[in-house]
Structure 1
Amino acid sequence: MQHNEFDAIHNKGLDITQNAATLVRNYNIALNGTKTTLNNPLVKQLPTATVFTNKKFEVVYASDKFFADFDFDSNDTLGRPINELFTTLSEDWENTLYHCLSDKTHDTNVNYSLNSATDSKWYKWACTAWQNDQNNPIGLIIQFEDITEKKLKKEQVDTLQSLLDAMCEISEIGVWDYNIQDDKLICCDIIRKIYNVGADHQFSFDGALSSYKDGHSRNTISMLVHESMNKGKTWSEKLQLRTSNGKNIWVQASGMPTYSDGKIVGIKGTLQNIEKQVQSETKTRENELLLRTLIDNLPLNVFIKDTESRKILVNKSECDYMGVDSADELLGKSDFELFNKDIALISRSEDLQVMETLIPILGRETINETKDGRIATFLTSKIPLKGNNGKAQGLVGISMDITDLKQKEQELRDLINVTSHQNKKLVNFAHIVSHNLRSHTANFSMLLDFLANEKNENEKSNIIKMLTQASDNLLETLENLNEVVAINTNINLEKKPVRLNQRIVSVKRNLKAFLVNNNAKIVNAISEHTTIKVIPAYIDSILMNFITNAVKYRHPDRPPLITLSTISENGYVVLSIEDNGLGIDLKKYGNKLFGMYKTFHDHSDARGIGLYITKNQIEAMNGKVTVASKVGLGTTFKIYFNEQN
């Protein structure tokens, strides 16, 4: 019967507080507070670490499990007080054990944590009074449970909870957990702070959902919760929530389903107040829009490049210049992808200079040529973009297309040059007119004075003849001056394309007798298809003047030879008229060669007006004339006919 009782107790896991005293009493060993060194064989077999003590708290019996767990020797353990075995007991351990002895309820349990003298394991122990047949306490029954693993797990859980609380507090992100079956919502203090409610506020799941702003936010959160419960979806959404004081704030709401045995049993998630962030983002977007509006409407090309000279921002003017509809077609591209290699190399060199020296380039004139061949002149500035480390993280470029301005500047310069030239010509012309007319006037005055005082009729007749000749000379001078005026005032005469060879043949035909009489030869090396844009009336005069001059000023030792040829050069058709005549000392007469009434040879037909008129005709057609000559060898005139205007 005794063994059956023990087996029943053993099989039930050792309910010591109810059965241990009876077990020992039936073993019929008298203790009465005396030491016993013979261990009870039934206690030895108990599945838990268990000891029986007398009133002096000396060990009477102990289970083998007790000896094994604490690595105690039975010979050194039985009869020794508990406090000698466990040196880490607290100071009030004795009071606690005495309290257990004096307890009459038979159900006193004492929980206490300790670690053994041999290692760092932690144990939890339960204590109850051990009573005799008269129900008087004769000692204690103490049962030990190894709680080391539980304690470590609890410490880990406490540490993780502490970290979670700290993270929530620092990041101001609240956590919540909803149990579907119990319809219970648990929220942390951060969420209470977000909702602006006190610690005694009871959350409900439906109430939490209805606190979202009516419309998009509430509809969205309801749909997300439904899909999480039914489809197991995880979500994170930026929504508006209405707090208890009626204020609408932006929150980042996130959630995910929780499972048990493969079934969704709840939802847990986080909630973060992002009102300041949203306001900041809104302000940033407004500033970006303002800045974008500003730079897109500037009459300047604006761009930002990274350290690899790739464009990361461009404005509308830059897009228009590059001929693209969208900035996306330029972003991420370098100058090597947008311009030809030579221009890209120059630009990259400038970029590196600015980023390495941190010294901006301001107002540098540059020429850009796109891949489609468009060439433009820009006034460009490049300014380094400094990072927090003081180094360049890119650059800002600002450029202004000054192509039209440069063209206007060139036109103005040309106009100034023409005006200056015309002014010089006008001054020269006025001087010539004044000088020549004054000479003719003085001559007339002198001859008339002679005529008035002369008595001899024959002399009077001679004076009248001289007056007639003077009149003819004055008329010729006036005709020459009139022709010069006509050339410089007939600016609206239209230029027309003519075949140069046809005009040369026409001039040769008109000068045939003159050329034959002077044994002159013309070598025409001009193509039949050569066309020039000229005023037709001027080209015949120009050709005739240069050809007749080449014959007039021929060298006495050889017959005149005139060679005509053309080339194309920088928008001009250049006509060369080369002779083998006397030549001109250009060092001596070069700056006077095309002056009015300037002659450089003792020739009876030299009047000094032909080259002056011819030069005016050429310049009236936006052309120019140059001369090269060697005395005694000949002269070459080059006439530049402008093909563009």
Structure 2
Amino acid sequence: MLINPHIQSTSYLIKQLPTLTVFIDREFKIIHASDKWLFTFGENSGAILGRSLFEIFPDLSIKWQTVLKECFEGKANPMGVQKYKDSHLNEKWYEWSNTCWYNEEENIIGAIIQINDVTESLEKELELEKTKVQLKHQSEISKTGRWEYNILNDEITWCDITKAIHEVSPDYVPKLDTSIGFYKEGYSRNAISMAIYEAQEKGTPWGIKLQIITATGKEKWVFAAGKPLYEKRKLIGFTGTFQDIDEQVLANVETKKNEKLLRTLVDNLPLNVYVKDIHSKKILVNRAECLYLGAKNEAELLGKDNFDIYDYETAKKFTEQDIKVMSSLEPILGEEVISTNKRGIQTTFLTSKIPLLDEKGMANGLVGISLDITNMKQKEKELRNLIDVTSLQNKKLINFAHIVSHNLRSHTANFSMLLDFLQYEEDEKEKAKIMDMLNSSSGNLLETIENLNQVLAINTNINIEKKEVNLYDKVKIVEENLKDFIIENNAEIENKIVNTQTIKVIPQYLESILINFITNGIKYKHPKRKPKISLHLLKEENYSVLTITDNGLGIDLKKYGNKLFGMYKTFHSHENARGMGLYITKNQIESMGGKIEVESKVGCGTTFKVFFNEKN
């Protein structure tokens, strides 16, 4: 039935149609198909012509059969959109439409079906719908509404969210003046009015954080944004958004309040507080830390590491500490460290370093807290020294008490014995001898008491004020006072002290010390050479060290070293030796916070080093 010339001509024309077209008869069999249709669905005319449409497209439902049957009856309805998977399983959407197919006698012999690929437009429509849903959802979450104002008809429209922000009913109809009236009187209302004016006159968009008074009387922070709308360069209205930011603003206010409170607390702590990042750079410091490091404000220290602030050794030590804390995640608590800043000032701190952890449990910095215990350490040292001095004084007092008891008991026993002899002696000559012995014992007792009083005075007068004394001049004065003694013994005094050098001492003690060492150096001279005493002074840390060297008999330190400065200890058979000089001298030196050292060799001489404490 398709072989006559007229049919063949019609078929040729259908093949060239630019659309996807197919002709079916009343039994749903495909009679004609355009080349584009065949190409799209991967068919060829020999394999498809005469076959049922539903054999080729089994996914077409019963609904389409009903639509096509109605078409055969003269009711051409659209078939709608149908999904299709090609040979590569790519999903496509096609819009199917049909119309009645008439023959020359105007009889319906089938249907003409045209197909349009609407995949792209449908995807865009779905994407647009999805975007609309997302925007609506986002708008609801962010509490952001829309509004528009049409100048031509003086109409303003609010979306549901905008109405909800203003706490008005859904059927509320806003006006321009009432919309502005919602803004809080004062700054907010003036600001929005000025923004609208600027937009109208200059085309300037706006976005401002303001306050409104809702319909229920509640104050609320909002972010009002808008811009002008133009048509053919003519202003036709405004459009914008309206966001409820009350919770954020109040949260920010509360956060800033807490931050200020925390900052006030940190800045007024009697501790050095700082925070460092992973590279040991400071990102927060408190007032005490700024004060210690000599910074005017926090900005001078932020971003600086240990090497920017401390000397190299201190910076190296602190950096190693930081790395250890952040790598091991173990804090350092209450560790005593000595810090030296770039000005060379040393400070003792009790330091704690605590790692700062991120959400993954890794260290991204540390918090440091340091307590300056320099004064505490100094007080501790002073207390220790005081305890040592007290202990020493106690030992001295006990020793002094024993000596007093022993010496006075000896003198008392001697007096008692002599008086007993005197009582029973009848010979006048013997009585005279006993009286001489009593006079001698009385003199010895007075000398003992004087020596004991001198020692007691030294040990009790601990608060005598020290003064700056020119040592060179003082040696010259002592030398002048001992002139006759020096000449008598043909002695030489070599004063190597610089004439400008001074020491801080109790003046009367210094003179006594010099006299004692110089006279001892001459008194215990070597019989084969004339005595020579040499004096010189040097500085050593917190001490001024006076060195006094003689060329006399010397002392056997192995034999007498531990007794050298004892009371009534003598080491040479000199008629004037009493064993009190070195004892008193040592007490005088120690009462001034100093110390004494000795070096000696028998037959060669002795060197005494007197350490005068310049600090205390």
TM-score interval (norm. to shorter) = 0.7 to 0.9
Deviations 1:64-100 (A, max 9, x none): xx94664699999999999899887663456556767
Distance 2:129 2:226 in 1: 24
Whole-Å separation in 2 of the counterparts to 1:147 and 1:198: 46
Equivalent AA in structure 2 for residue 510 of structure 1: N
How far residue 266 of structure 1 moved from its aligned partner, in angstroms, is 5.1
| Aligned mates of 1:644, 1:564 — CA distance in 2 | 23
Tell me which residue corresponds to 1:546.
Answer: 517
Change beyond 3 A, Cα 1:182–1:39: farther
Q: How do 1:81-480 and structure 2 match up within 5 A?
A: 91-93=62-64, 96=67, 110-113=77-80, 122-123=94-95, 125=97, 146=116, 148=118, 150-169=121-140, 173-176=144-147, 181=152, 189-191=160-162, 193-196=164-167, 200=171, 202=173, 208-228=179-199, 230-256=201-227, 267-480=238-451
The answer to whether the aligner puts 1:37 opposite 2:29 as a matched pair is no
Moved more, 48-57 or 454-463: 48-57
Find the counterpart in structure 2 of residue 11 from structure 1. none
Letter in 2 for 1:467: L
Alpha carbons 1:176, 1:269 under 8 Å: kept:
yes
What's the C-alpha RMSD, in Å, of the aligned pairs? 4.3
Q: Deviation digits for residues 522-541 of structure 1, max 9, x if unmatched? A: 33322222222333333332
**Stretch of structure 1 that moved more, 119-128 or 415-424:** 119-128
Flag the 1:575–1:76 CA change in 2: closer, same or farther, 3 A.
Answer: closer
Per the alignment, residue 456 of structure 2 pairs with: 485
Deviation digits for residues 201-253 of structure 1 (CA, Å, limit 9, x no counterpart): 55666655544444434443444444445544444443334445443333444
CA contact (8 A) 1:57 1:139 kept: no
Which letter does structure 2 place at the counterpart of 1:448?
Answer: L
**1:153–1:568 distance in 2 versus 1, CA, 3 Å:** closer
- Tell me which residue corresponds to 1:577: 548
Measured in 1, the distance between the counterparts of 2:96 and 2:171 equals 35
Residue 576 of structure 1 and its aligned partner are, at CA, apart by: 0.8
Aligned to 1:4: none
Q: Quick check: 196-205 or 484-493, which moved more?
A: 196-205
> Once the 2 structures are TM-superposed, how far is the Cα of residue 192 of structure 1 from its aligned partner?
5.1
Inter-partner Cα distance in structure 1 for 2:586 and 2:244: 87
Q: 2:22·2:114 contact (CA, 8 Å) conserved in 1? A: no
Q: Is the contact between residue 82 and residue 96 of structure 2 (CA under 8 Å) also seen in structure 1? A: no
Q: Does 1:558 align with 2:529?
A: yes
Alpha-carbon shift at residue 456 of structure 1 (Å) = 0.6
CA spacing shift, 1:459–1:270, aligned 2, 3 Å:
same
SS in 1 for 2:522: helix
Give the corresponding residue for 1:3: none
What is the aligned partner in structure 1 of residue 475 from structure 2?
504
C-alpha separation between the residues in 1 aligned to 2:539 and 2:28? 129
SS of alignment partner, residue 574 of structure 2:
coil
Distance in 2 (CA, whole Å) between partners of 1:470 and 1:76 is 157
Distance (Å, rounded) in 1 between the aligned partners of 2:19 and 2:427: 177
Task: Supply the AA of the counterpart residue of 1:515.
Answer: I
Name the amino acid aligned to 2:510.
I
Q: Which amino acid aligns with 2:530?
A: P
**Deviates further, 269-278 or 469-478:** 269-278
1:90–1:325 CA distance, 2 compared to 1 (3 A): same
Distance 1:387 1:427 in 2: 66
1:340-387, Cα deviation, whole Å (9 max, x unpaired): 121111111111111111221111111222223332211111112222
Q: CA deviation at 1:455?
A: 0.6
Distance 1:459 1:197 in 2: 137
CA contact (8 A) 2:282 2:301 kept: yes
Task: Give yes or no for contact 1:87–1:117 (8 Å, CA) kept in 2.
Answer: no
Rate the CA distance shift 1:153–1:384 in 2: closer, same or farther, 3 A: closer
2:494 is aligned with 1:523 = yes
Please list the CA deviations of residues 75-133 of structure 1 after superposition, one character each: whole Å capped at 9, or x if unmatched: 99999999899887663456556767878xxxx98444357999857446475898999
Q: Secondary structure at the match of 2:125?
A: helix
Give CA-to-partner distance per residue, 1:476-528, whole Å, 9 cap, x none.
Answer: 22222232233334445443333322222333333333333333333332222
Which letter does structure 2 place at the counterpart of 1:345? K
Change (3 A) 1:143 1:508: same
Is the partner of 1:379 in helix, strand or coil?
strand
Which residue identity lines up with residue 586 of structure 1 in the other structure?
L
CA contact (8 A) 1:55 1:140 kept: yes
CA gap 1:37/1:607 in 2 versus in 1, 3 angstroms? same
Letter in 1 for 2:319: R
Q: Which range moved further: 497-506 or 355-364?
A: 497-506
Task: For structure 1, list consecutive stretches of 5 or more residues without a partner in the other structure.
Answer: 1-34
2:89 match: none
- Taking a change above 3 Å as real, the CA distance of residues 50 and 601 of structure 1, as seen in their structure-2 partners, is closer
Higher alpha-carbon deviation: 460-469 or 470-479: 470-479
- Structure showing greater radius of gyration is 1
Report which stretch shifted further, 195-204 or 410-419. 195-204
1:594 to partner: Cα distance: 1.6
Secondary structure of the structure 1 residue equivalent to 2:570: coil
The answer as to whether partners of 2:71 and 2:111 remain within 8 angstroms in 1 is: no
For residues 496 and 296 of structure 1, the distance between their equivalents in structure 2, rounded to whole angstroms, comes to 43
One-letter amino acid of the counterpart of residue 523, structure 1: E
The 3-state SS of whatever aligns with 1:626 is strand
Q: CA deviation at 1:621?
A: 3.2
**Aligned equivalents of 1:40, 1:365: Cα separation in 2:** 105
Q: CA offsets, 1:134-155, max 9 Å, x none? A: xx98789979685736545434
Matches within 5 A, 1:12-27: none
Contact 1:243–1:249 at 8 Å: present in 2 too? Answer: yes
The alignment's TM-score, normalised by the length of structure 1, stands at 0.79
Change (3 A) 1:208 1:87: farther
What is the CA distance between 1:631 and its match in structure 2? 2.5
- Is 1:535–2:506 an aligned residue pair? yes
> Match of 1:328, SS?
helix
Displacement of 1:439:
1.5
Q: 1:220 to 1:552 in 2, by over 3 A?
A: same
Q: Structure 1 pair 92/465, CA: closer, same or farther in 2 (3 Å)? A: closer
TM-score (norm 2): 0.83
Give the aligned residue type for 2:422: L
Structure 2 residue matching 1:37: 3-state secondary structure: helix
Deviations 1:590-637 (A, max 9, x none): 232222211122221110111122222223333322211222322111
**In 2, Cα distance between the equivalents of 1:128 and 1:516?**
157
Greater Cα offset, 180-189 or 469-478: 180-189
Structure 2 contact 68–111 (Cα < 8 Å) conserved: no
Which runs of 5 or more structure 2 residues have no equivalent in the other structure?
Answer: 87-91
| Aligned residue pair count | 601
Residue equivalent to 2:571: 600
